[in-house]
């Protein structure tokens, strides 16, 4: 396929669009609220009203403000209708045709929407995720075409290095340097792997990207394959994401049919295929060496590094592993250039970051903001603060590997270095807001129980240490703990961080350490030596 043919597909897709379009979210979040039934009712109403030549109902990906779903956005007015149900379908169709609707709408100037800066989510809610033509109409696969026809692999690697893009999976390793390491390896076989094993409690960023814009991931992986000299890619996706799996499978078939995957892509010498591998729900398989073991059909357990995957990965061959959000940045980065991308964000943290806002907050959903945006802007302005007028007590970032940030640190910029300085991490992008009713010892115990259950058991520090930490946290929470138990907790935290085999055990103490650092008084109030007249002190009910 040549570029004019790609443009013809895009022009035909745009020409097929009706003057009025009703874009309804059919991602998993809105589907759980009944959006498929609403979509069917809208389609039936349009047909019955004889408006099929004028009004078009389109299923799209996430419209971001998940707390207001099902969401329907009307073009060309850009009116966003919230919490739409089947009974409102007739009124909504009438409204876009000059009538009136009593449906609730979202103010376009709402900070949740107004402060977003979309790169990864630029097509989310705009395109039909089940049609490759819709992606092509949004400049999809043009980056891959120009890469194959106009750039050398070395030039692509240099572009990614220059952009300053860092891995969005948690550690923040420079993406271009990782690509360069794999590219320089001399091997007849290399692999590209997309880590879509999103397992942090409260996180749904990768799921939403896969459901809303699957071709973006395929294009990003194909560009990476060309840059490092790989011909085979794998997407390792959680089995708990059936809709994402379905849409990825459909996207791969469509891309092969049009020549964007397979042999001689865009009639070039480059061959690249992508297959799916479905995970069985083990959190530890988010660790890259455990993930590779699972792809190979072995038990998902980590191994010591070095050698790193760039040198010896899948089946002993050089392997590039990035997560969903990292690959999702690539098509736009290639189209708009390294200078454009590097101008966004901070000096050391370039670009944007996608977060899943959840917890005790008014506006839950997906946001994408420039690196360096403060927690206060995200939580209080975009998120609308704590629901029902409550007060923020803490914000937890980074999932079980992250930390709990107190309210007096809300002016902290969200970037890799700033979060690390206050005892947390960026992680993959989960952000859970807690209010004054939350007991922080409960929070530490919850995440420790999660890590304890998800430990693969291969190394003793993680296998036994997480159990002992959970027991100590339970003892303290039940009012049976002593100062010696807190001292022992600190000692176990050091042990796990310094001796565990992989990142699961090494970062498992982080929620405990951060709560001890900022909320130590909540631990001390529960100790047996702080009782008054033989009575245990009162403490908030478990709300986590």
pLDDT tens, N- to C-terminus, the chain (544 residues): 888 999 999 999 999 999 999 999 999 999 999 999 999 999 999 999 999 999 999 999 999 999 999 999 999 999 999 999 999 998 999 888 877 788 899 998 999 999 999 999 999 999 999 999 999 999 999 999 999 999 999 999 999 999 999 999 877 899 999 999 999 999 999 999 999 999 888 889 999 999 999 999 999 999 999 999 999 999 999 999 999 999 999 999 999 999 999 999 999 999 999 999 999 889 999 999 999 999 999 999 999 999 999 999 999 999 999 999 999 999 999 999 999 999 999 999 999 999 999 999 999 999 999 999 999 999 999 999 998 889 999 999 998 999 999 999 999 999 999 999 999 998 888 899 999 999 999 999 999 999 999 999 999 999 999 999 999 999 999 999 999 999 999 999 999 999 999 999 999 999 999 999 999 999 999 998 654 334 444 443 333 3
Assign residue 441 a region (left: φ > 0; alpha: ψ between -120 and 50; beta: otherwise). Answer: alpha
d(Cα 291, Cα 495) in Å, to the nearest integer? 25
Burial zone of 71 (CB within 10 Å; 0-12 exposed, 13-18 middle, 19+ buried): buried
* Helix or strand (DSSP H, E) at 214: helix 214-228
- Please list, in sequence order, all residues whose beta carbon lies within 8 angstroms of the beta carbon of residue 342, skipping any fewer than 6 positions away: 162, 163, 164, 350
pLDDT of amino acid 534? 41
Tokens matching residue 310? 């760039």
Nearest to 397 by CA among 447, 362, 345: 447
d(Cα 284, Cα 502) in Å, to the nearest integer? 9
pLDDT of amino acid 529? 64
Secondary structure, 3-state, 164-209: CCECCCCCCCEHHHHHHHHHCCCCCCCEEEEEECCCCCCCCHHHHH
Listing DSSP states for 337-357 in one string gives -HHHHHTSB-SSSBSEEEEEE
d(Cα 527, Cα 303) in Å, to the nearest integer? 39
d(Cα 5, Cα 59) in Å, to the nearest integer? 26
* C-beta of residue 108 within 8 angstroms of C-beta of residue 84: no
Tokens matching residue 184? 């320089």
pLDDT of amino acid 2? 86
Query: How many Å is the Cα radius of gyration of the chain?
Result: 24
Please state at what angle helix 153-163 crosses helix 324-336, rounded to 10 degrees.
Answer: 100
Listing DSSP states for 90-154 in one string gives HHHHHHHTT-----EEE-TT-HHHHT---STTTTTTTS-TT-HHHHHHTTTTHHHHHHHHH--HH
pLDDT of amino acid 541? 38
d(Cα 504, Cα 273) in Å, to the nearest integer? 31
Strands 79-82, 104-106: pairing kind: antiparallel
* C-beta of residue 80 within 8 angstroms of C-beta of residue 125: no
Burial zone of 41 (CB within 10 Å; 0-12 exposed, 13-18 middle, 19+ buried): buried
- Please list, in sequence order, all residues whose beta carbon lies within 8 angstroms of the beta carbon of residue 420, skipping any fewer than 6 positions away: none
DSSP code of residue 262: B
pLDDT of amino acid 68? 95
DSSP code of residue 85: -
Nearest to 294 by CA among 273, 307, 313: 313
pLDDT of amino acid 543? 38
Beta bridge partners of 369: 353
d(Cα 123, Cα 216) in Å, to the nearest integer? 9
Beta bridge partners of 57: 22
Strands 352-359, 365-370: pairing kind: antiparallel
d(Cα 212, Cα 215) in Å, to the nearest integer? 9
d(Cα 215, Cα 213) in Å, to the nearest integer? 6
φ/ψ of 117, rounded to 5, equals -135, 105
pLDDT of amino acid 531? 45
d(Cα 352, Cα 328) in Å, to the nearest integer? 11
- Please list, in sequence order, all residues whose beta carbon lies within 8 angstroms of the beta carbon of residue 537, skipping any fewer than 6 positions away: 479, 525, 526, 530, 531
> Which domains, ranges and CATH numbers included, belong to the chain?
16-108 (3.40.30.10), 139-342 (3.40.50.11540), 352-435 (3.10.20.600), 440-530 (1.20.1440.230)
Looking up tokens 């998993």, which residue turns up? 28
Nearest to 401 by CA among 505, 289, 280: 505
φ/ψ of 164, rounded to 5, equals 80, 10
* Helix or strand (DSSP H, E) at 59: strand 55-60
d(Cα 402, Cα 124) in Å, to the nearest integer? 27
As separate numbers, helices (DSSP H) first and strands (DSSP E) second, the chain gives: 23, 14
Secondary structure, 3-state, 247-258: HHHHHHHHHHHC
10 Å Cβ neighbour count for 343?
A: 13
Please state at what angle helix 214-228 crosses helix 324-336, rounded to 10 degrees.
Answer: 80
């Amino acid at each position: 396929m040549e570029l004019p043919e790609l443009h013809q597909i895009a022009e035909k897709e745009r020409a097929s669009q009706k003057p009025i379009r009703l874009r309804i979210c059919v991602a998993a979040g809105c589907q759980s609220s009944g959006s498929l039934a609403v979509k069917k009712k809208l389609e039936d109403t349009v047909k019955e009203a004889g408006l099929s030549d004028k009004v078009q109902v389109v299923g799209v990906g996430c419209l971001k403000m998940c707390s207001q779903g099902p969401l329907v956005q009307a073009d060309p007015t850009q009116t966003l209708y919230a919490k739409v149900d089947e009974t409102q379908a007739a009124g909504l169709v009438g409204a876009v045709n000059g009538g009136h609707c009593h449906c609730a709408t979202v103010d376009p100037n709402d900070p949740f929407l107004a402060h977003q800066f979309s790169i990864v989510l630029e097509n989310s809610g705009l395109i039909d995720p089940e049609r490759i033509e819709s992606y092509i109409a949004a400049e999809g696969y043009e980056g891959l075409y120009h890469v194959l026809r106009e750039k050398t692999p070395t030039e692509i690697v240099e572009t990614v290095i220059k952009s300053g893009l860092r891995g969005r999976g948690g550690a923040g390793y420079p993406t271009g340097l990782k690509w360069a390491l794999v590219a320089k390896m001399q091997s007849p076989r290399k692999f590209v792997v997309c880590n879509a094993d999103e397992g942090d409690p409260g996180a749904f960023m990768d799921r939403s990207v896969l459901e809303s814009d699957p071709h973006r991931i395929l294009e990003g992986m194909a560009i990476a394959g060309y840059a490092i000299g790989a011909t085979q890619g794998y997407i390792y996706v959680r089995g708990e994401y059936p809709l994402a799996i379905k849409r990825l499978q459909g996207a791969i078939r469509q891309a092969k049919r049009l020549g964007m995957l397979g042999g001689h892509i865009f009639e070039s010498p480059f061959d690249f295929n992508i297959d799916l591998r479905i995970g069985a729900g083990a959190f530890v398989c988010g660790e890259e060496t455990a993930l590779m073991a699972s792809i190979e059909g072995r038990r998902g357990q980590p191994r010591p590094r070095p050698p790193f995957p760039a040198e010896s990965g899948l089946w002993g061959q050089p392997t590039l592993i990035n997560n969903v959000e990292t690959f999702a940045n690539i098509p736009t980065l290639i189209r708009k250039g390294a200078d454009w991308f590097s101008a966004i964000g901070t000096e050391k943290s370039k670009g944007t970051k996608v977060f899943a806002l959840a917890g005790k907050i008014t506006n839950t959903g997906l946001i994408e903001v420039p690196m360096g945006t403060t927690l206060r802007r995200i939580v209080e302005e975009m998120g609308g603060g704590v629901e029902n007028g409550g007060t923020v007590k803490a914000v937890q970032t980074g999932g079980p590997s992250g930390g709990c940030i107190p309210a007096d640190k809300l002016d902290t910029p969200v970037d890799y270095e700033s979060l690390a300085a206050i005892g947390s991490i960026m992680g993959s992008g989960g952000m859970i807001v807690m209010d004054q009713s939350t007991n922080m010892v409960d929070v530490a115990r919850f995440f420790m129980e999660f890590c304890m259950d998800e430990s693969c058991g291969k190394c003793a520090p993680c296998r036994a240490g997480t159990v002992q930490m959970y027991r100590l946290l339970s003892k303290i929470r039940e009012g049976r703990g002593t100062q010696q138990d807190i001292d022992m907790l600190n000692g176990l935290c050091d042990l796990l961080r310094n001796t565990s085999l992989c990142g699961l055990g090494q970062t498992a103490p982080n929620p405990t350490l951060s709560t001890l650092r900022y909320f130590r008084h909540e631990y001390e109030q529960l100790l047996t030596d702080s009782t008054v007249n033989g009575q245990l002190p009162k403490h908030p009910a478990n709300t986590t």
